[in-house]
Structure 1
Amino acid sequence: MLSMLGLIGGLILLTVLVMRGMNLLIVAPLSALFVAVLNGVPIFPQFAAKGEVDFITGYMDGFAGFITSWYLMFLAGAIFGKVMEDSGAAESVSHWIVSKIGMKHAVLAIVLACAVLTYGGVSLFVVAFAVFPMAVSLFKEANLPRRFIPAALAFGSTTFTMTSAGSPEIQNWIPIPFLGTSPYAGWEVSIITSIFMLIVGYWLLMQMINRSVKKGEHFVERDTDNTEVRTNLPNPILSLVPLLAVLAVAFIFHDSLAQSALILALISGILATWLLNRKYFRNFWDAVSDGTLGALIAIGNTAAVVGFGGVAKITPAFATAVDFMTSIPGSPLIGGALAVMVIAGLTGSSSGGQTIALPILAPHYLDMGVNAEALHRTVSLSSGTLDSLPHGGYAVTTIRSIAGETHKDAYPAFGVVTVVVPIITVVLAVILFSVGLGI
């Protein structure tokens, strides 16, 4: 009982401290220490018995292991996003989308711009950095409350594109080596769930924005807003070529190179951006440096909560929780979805949640005869739910570091479109797979 209270209490502590504005790199290990103490986990290696895992080893194995596995992908994705931004290609694509759907659909323009960049392989964190200046400009022109910008950015980046079939984002690629699938696993169901998320999530977001506007909320300028208007932009069609290159290379090499295909694809995108738009760069190497820094921030925040998950994983309470979820009667997809959801919530990371859960879940469910493609898509969708709780690395970075908002103001809408809507979508996916669609 005490161990379970420690596990749940550690998650609550992590969430509360993040909501109060504390640094994730500090509060994640502190919260993990709380979990370890209440679960009787030795703090130092010197205090651990032979074969027993201690707090420091558990935390650093999770932290360092995630960086070892995913740093090059984060790095390539962040640099790709920054060169797309510095060359004006990302802005060109964004403005092109706005010109096609009109200013009255400013929020939809932001969502679609994020979706195009995300599905083109740009890192989720970098998409937020790249599209945020355009979002500020559009919200200002439409006189909409700026506290909804993080929700618009997150909705376009972390929902119907991040976990969909064919997406180059790592949330769609992590299951491949564990399940022997491809990034296009369960594509029939994925089409339906992606459309569902887009329609329902956008409708709910607009309802919340319109309700706030009716109450008198409006856009408020800040001294830190970048008012620069860039007039010399590359051709939007040519700007799409690097995105298409990422998708094409990932498709061609995913069988032979598996996860490494994504690194090659992102490098192809960087080269294509430089070749097609080199005369538009402000400073290519500064963009590369900024991308590298962005990658370190993004992977550092994510690894911090994966480290928390690494400690949670070695506790008796975690094993009890996993046993409970994997023994839930009914479709094994339900147990798998719940397990990944909860672990992603504990770690505050969709990719971290999958990395911890799949080594345990994949053999168990495959031995039961569960369809690997259905499990792949369900796990991917499930990872993009509770990962967006207030303490999640992406939530903290987007709300506080990028948009400069408080969790109190921005998170309610953020949580609706990144947690509530994806959870409903997971239920839909399980139902569709259960009736035989895509299997």
Structure 2
Amino acid sequence: MIGVIGIVVSLMLLMYLAYRGITVLVLAPILAIFAALMSGGASAHVMATYTEIFMKAFAGYAQKYFPVFMLGAIFGKIMDDTGSAKSIAHFIAKKLGKDKAILAVALSCSILTYGGVSMFVVAFAIYPIAVSLFREADIPKRLIPGSIAVGSFGFTMTALPGSPQIQNAIPMPYFGTDAYAAPVLGLIASAIMLGASMMWLTHRANKAKKAGEGYGDHLNENVTDMDISKLPSVGISIIPIILVLVLNFVISKYFFGSSTYDASYLSEYATKLSKVSGMWSLIIALVISILVAIILNIKRLKDVKKSCNQGAIGSLLAIINTSSEVGYGNVIKSLAAFAIVKNAMLGISSNPLIAEAISCNVLAGITGSASGGMAIALSVLGKQYLEMANAAGINPQVLHRIATIACGGFDSLPHNGAVITLLGICQLTHKESYKDIGIVSVLIPIGTLVIILILASLGIQA
């Protein structure tokens, strides 16, 4: 019982101290060892726990996912430095007009995120355009973070089939799936999230208008008008994004997915094609798209080497943070007391979809990270969920899609790093804007998850 208390206290401390600003790089190993000691581990085992369990899991996760983190960050940096991200956003804003400012911002973020650009790059690129649109339409600035959140860490991150975001890549090795897993359920979830979010934000804007509240006075916004003439055309800008999606689909379905592809050599590497094909397809698609983006914009890129270096270096903190959380989860998994916690989590429901949805959501909330929470849940319980699903005749693709949608719920609680960064970019506070962020990135995704679980339980398996 003391061991279980140690695990729970460790998790609560992880959430609280992360919210207080202490990096997970420090917290994860310390709190993992704390839980191990509370579970009865002798002090002589501390170093073994750290080097043989924590660091091995850390290294294993980094080995598996670092290419996607790095290539995604480089791609996003190239799209930002070339002006391609701003060009796409400006085109959408111009076509929709100022009376559709909220939708323009949400769609701009959605297209960029769905194309593989990271949330942080999207927020920085879209914010100046959002300020211009909201100011012209006289919509309260406090609604900008919510509008960006809809597209940047909403349905394109978790639900839309084919998304190259890391949240959609993590389940692949566990379930032998690809980025387009359960497309019908994914499309339904995406439509619900986008539709409900737009209804909420439009309602909030109309309510503010009736109350006589406009954009407001905001000093030191440091937003300069863009020189549109220096941006690439929207056609040139959108090509790399389309390439990521098309190449990922074609390579996964018609190259590695072809019966003519001989993958027998993989037995020498103690793996099989279903475990790696999804990741390989995404890596190849990103590499080609980065090269095409550079070639198309070679005259606009001031320093190709610098853009690539900054993108690669910028990916390190994200992958190391998530790897630390996975290391933490594997230490917890190794404890004798975890058998009680594990049985409790698996016993939540005999339906593996419900059990998986709850564990991913709760752990994402505790860690303040969608990818971190899902990575812990699947590294600890993914094998059991797959066995339960196979026994129940549930398509592993559904497990994949439920996991991704679930991780995008409680992850956006106030202590989430992306939420804090977004508010910082917009120069707004939790008090001013978190309510709307919470509705569109916590409550609506959780409501959507419930609907998708019902549909999956009724037999929709694709």
Give me the TM-score of the superposition, normalised by structure 1. Answer: 0.86
Unaligned runs of 5+ in 1: none
Q: What CA distance in whole angstroms lies between the structure 1 residues aligned with 2:432 and 2:86? A: 27
Q: 1:287 aligns with which of 291, 307, 319?
A: 307
Which residue of structure 2 aligns with residue 184 of structure 1? 180
The verdict on how the C-alpha distance between 1:211 and 1:61 changes in structure 2, with shifts beyond 3 A counting, is farther
The verdict on how the C-alpha distance between 1:350 and 1:211 changes in structure 2, with shifts beyond 3 A counting, is same
- 1:14 alignment partner AA: L
Q: 1:365 aligns with which of 389, 407, 422?
A: 389
Which residue of structure 2 aligns with residue 170 of structure 1? 166
Shift of 1:113: 0.9
Q: What CA distance in whole angstroms lies between the structure 1 residues aligned with 2:87 and 2:299? A: 14
Q: What CA distance in whole angstroms lies between the structure 1 residues aligned with 2:212 and 2:51? A: 50
CA contact (8 A) 2:367 2:373 kept: yes
Which residue of structure 2 aligns with residue 130 of structure 1? 125
The verdict on how the C-alpha distance between 1:335 and 1:47 changes in structure 2, with shifts beyond 3 A counting, is closer
Q: Could you say what secondary structure the match of 2:149 adopts?
A: helix
Q: Could you say what secondary structure the match of 2:222 adopts?
A: coil
CA contact (8 A) 2:15 2:366 kept: no
Shift of 1:210: 5.2
- Deviations 1:313-347 (Å, cap 9, x if unpaired)? 34455443332232334533212222222233333
Q: Percent identity?
A: 39
CA contact (8 A) 2:140 2:213 kept: no
What are the residue-to-residue correspondences of 1:27-46 with 2, within 5 Å? Answer: 27-29=27-29, 31-32=31-32, 35-41=35-41, 46=44
Q: Could you say what secondary structure the match of 1:54 adopts?
A: helix
> Is 1:200 aligned to residue 191 of structure 2?
no
> Is 1:270 aligned to residue 290 of structure 2?
yes
Q: What CA distance in whole angstroms lies between the structure 2 residues aligned with 1:397 and 1:148? A: 16
Which residue of structure 1 aligns with residue 14 of structure 2? 14
Which residue of structure 2 aligns with residue 242 of structure 1? 240
The verdict on how the C-alpha distance between 1:240 and 1:347 changes in structure 2, with shifts beyond 3 A counting, is same
Q: What CA distance in whole angstroms lies between the structure 2 residues aligned with 1:433 and 1:266? A: 31
Which residue of structure 2 aligns with residue 347 of structure 1? 367
- 2:167 alignment partner AA: Q
Q: What CA distance in whole angstroms lies between the structure 1 residues aligned with 2:31 and 2:214? A: 36
Q: 2:61 aligns with which of 61, 66, 70?
A: 66
Which residue of structure 2 aligns with residue 377 of structure 1? 401
- 1:428 alignment partner AA: I
Shift of 1:211: 5.0
- 1:418 alignment partner AA: S
- 1:183 alignment partner AA: A
The verdict on how the C-alpha distance between 1:14 and 1:390 changes in structure 2, with shifts beyond 3 A counting, is farther
- 1:229 alignment partner AA: M
The verdict on how the C-alpha distance between 1:378 and 1:212 changes in structure 2, with shifts beyond 3 A counting, is same
- Deviations 1:185-216 (Å, cap 9, x if unpaired)? 22122221110110112222344455567485
Q: What CA distance in whole angstroms lies between the structure 1 residues aligned with 2:141 and 2:29? A: 32
Which residue of structure 2 aligns with residue 336 of structure 1? 356
CA contact (8 A) 2:29 2:50 kept: no
The verdict on how the C-alpha distance between 1:408 and 1:78 changes in structure 2, with shifts beyond 3 A counting, is same
- Deviations 1:1-29 (Å, cap 9, x if unpaired)? 44444434334333333444444544555
CA contact (8 A) 1:42 1:54 kept: no
Q: What CA distance in whole angstroms lies between the structure 1 residues aligned with 2:25 and 2:428? A: 19
Which residue of structure 1 aligns with residue 76 of structure 2? 81
- Deviations 1:344-379 (Å, cap 9, x if unpaired)? 333333333333322442234324432222222212
Q: Could you say what secondary structure the match of 1:193 adopts?
A: helix
CA contact (8 A) 1:66 1:352 kept: no
> Is 1:299 aligned to residue 319 of structure 2?
yes
> Is 1:223 aligned to residue 220 of structure 2?
yes
Larger Rg: 2
CA contact (8 A) 1:389 1:419 kept: yes
- 1:348 alignment partner AA: G
Larger mean CA deviation between 258-267 and 135-144 belongs to 135-144
Q: What CA distance in whole angstroms lies between the structure 1 residues aligned with 2:293 and 2:78? A: 7
Which residue of structure 2 aligns with residue 111 of structure 1? 106
Q: What CA distance in whole angstroms lies between the structure 1 residues aligned with 2:25 and 2:141? A: 27
Give me the TM-score of the superposition, normalised by structure 2. Answer: 0.83
> Is 1:415 aligned to residue 457 of structure 2?
no
CA contact (8 A) 1:309 1:343 kept: no
Q: Could you say what secondary structure the match of 1:168 adopts?
A: coil
The verdict on how the C-alpha distance between 1:223 and 1:286 changes in structure 2, with shifts beyond 3 A counting, is farther
The verdict on how the C-alpha distance between 1:63 and 1:130 changes in structure 2, with shifts beyond 3 A counting, is farther
The verdict on how the C-alpha distance between 1:228 and 1:218 changes in structure 2, with shifts beyond 3 A counting, is closer
Shift of 1:83: 0.9
Q: Could you say what secondary structure the match of 2:194 adopts?
A: helix
Q: What CA distance in whole angstroms lies between the structure 2 residues aligned with 1:416 and 1:33? A: 36
Which residue of structure 1 aligns with residue 450 of structure 2? 427
Shift of 1:104: 2.1
Task: Provide the aligned C-alpha RMSD in A.
Answer: 3.0
- 2:174 alignment partner AA: F
Q: Could you say what secondary structure the match of 1:390 adopts?
A: coil
- Deviations 1:61-90 (Å, cap 9, x if unpaired)? 444433322222111111111111111111
The verdict on how the C-alpha distance between 1:311 and 1:245 changes in structure 2, with shifts beyond 3 A counting, is same
Shift of 1:174: 2.5
Q: What CA distance in whole angstroms lies between the structure 2 residues aligned with 1:240 and 1:95? A: 12
CA contact (8 A) 1:187 1:438 kept: no
What are the residue-to-residue correspondences of 1:314-333 with 2, within 5 Å? Answer: 314-316=334-336, 318-329=338-349, 331-333=351-353
